[in-house]
Amino acid sequence: MIKTLPFKTSIPSTWVSNSHLFAILQTREEGLDWLVANFIQLRYADDAGPPFLPHLNYLPIEGTCKLLTIKVFGRNIVDHFLLPVIGFLKFCIDNGSYISININQQYIRGYNQRFDHTLLVYGYDDYEQFLYVADHFDYGAYAGKTAKFEDFEKGYNEGQKNMWFKTMEFHDALYDNGEFIYKGNDKLVESYKTTMLNYLKDYCGCTSLHDMYEQPLPEPEKSFLYGFDCYDAVIRYLKLLLEEKTSTDRRIFTQLRDHKYMMPLRAEMIGKYKFCKDPEVLGWLKEKSREAHNLSEVMLCKFIKYEITKNKSIVESMVGDVVALRDLERIIIEKTIQILSN
């Protein structure tokens, strides 16, 4: 028997916990809409080692996205009842649940040493004896591949015993009273508009991170920057590279690319839900969003070239790129806020 659940390669792809969820949510139109309306891409941390830009959810997905039912339980439950792990995974897939689990991926990846990492299981093939799994495999890119049953079992048996399974499945009721998201009801449209408007105002105004959560992050004002301040932090980082006072971190520019990927999607959503009815304004918004996306791709290519050649002139040109991107994004966001406020 062959069984696979819908899977779409995640574009925001730097952090595995987000990538798994995005790969699932993006298989449905309403899931992609939810991401566009609820996801903030950039936060800057420079408190330990090379600086990095982790993704930040405006609303924590697992606690607020009612599109998904998420359950977490220790692997000791499966082990206690002596359940074959492959049989358990197949049972979950047959019942519509994706599974996220941390195992030793040494055998799946063909490494000569141990590598503990979380992957997503989204299907199986009994005839060929393999699972469909996803992770950041080749050069950090998030993608799906196959893993032989025996290789997965080896990695599972050698994995950390205190780790957990996480099952994730779709359910269609957005509200407790039974309204369905795919009906596109007015309450849903207005919630998208409100969330996007609040998020963009926060991002433009560089709202403090700890205001977004009930439990404040530890000393966020010392460790984290947010909103447009991220760009200034990236510029400082590039200047440190020029002075050879820090090491390279490709994640920064991968995430800038991811950040810009979402901007054209927001422009599409504004037109889709008729937040703006002026085709000229919509065309301008889409054009500028695409320009920002393309500029971020250019920066990523330049940075990869720098990693290969260590050419300082490349980094110097990137400083100007970051400034241009910041200014372009501010124009786009201000226009979007104006549209959503009308």
Task: Write the pLDDT tens digit of every residue in 215-241.
Answer: 444 454 445 667 888 888 888 889 888
Q: Is the dihedral of CA 62, 11, 28, 209 positive or negative?
A: positive
Contacts of 167 (CB under 8 A, 6+ apart): 70, 71, 92, 97, 98, 99, 100
- pLDDT tens sequence across 14-73: 677 778 888 998 898 888 888 888 776 677 766 555 666 665 554 556 666 778 888 888
Neighbours of 23 (CB within 10 A): 24
Same domain, 203 and 248: yes
Contact yes or no for 329/263 (Cβ under 8 A): yes
Same domain, 158 and 193: no
Same domain, 26 and 143: yes
Contact yes or no for 223/47 (Cβ under 8 A): yes
Which pTM does this prediction carry?
0.80
Predicted local distance difference test score (pLDDT) of residue 176: 41
Contact yes or no for 252/53 (Cβ under 8 A): yes
- Start-to-end Cα distance in the chain: 54
Q: How far is CA 67 from CA 72, 169, 182, 197, in A?
A: 17, 8, 11, 21
Domain that holds residue 290: 184-341
Predicted local distance difference test score (pLDDT) of residue 275: 92
Contact yes or no for 119/132 (Cβ under 8 A): no
Same domain, 215 and 268: yes
Same domain, 261 and 330: yes
CATH number at residue 308: 1.20.120
**Numbers of helices and strands, H then E, in the chain:** 13, 11
Same domain, 217 and 310: yes
Whether residue 128 is contained in a domain is answered as: yes
3-state SS assignment for residue 169: strand
- pLDDT tens sequence across 248-283: 877 788 778 878 888 898 899 999 889 999 999 999
Higher pLDDT, 56 or 311: 311
Q: How far is CA 123 from CA 67, 110, 120, 146, 167, in A?
A: 20, 21, 9, 9, 13
Contact yes or no for 25/34 (Cβ under 8 A): yes
| End residue of a domain, out of 111, 144, 170 | 170
3-state SS assignment for residue 143: strand
Element (H, E) at 3: strand 2-4
Same domain, 147 and 27: yes
210 has a pLDDT exceeding 50? no
Most confident of 92-96, 175-179, 237-241: 92-96
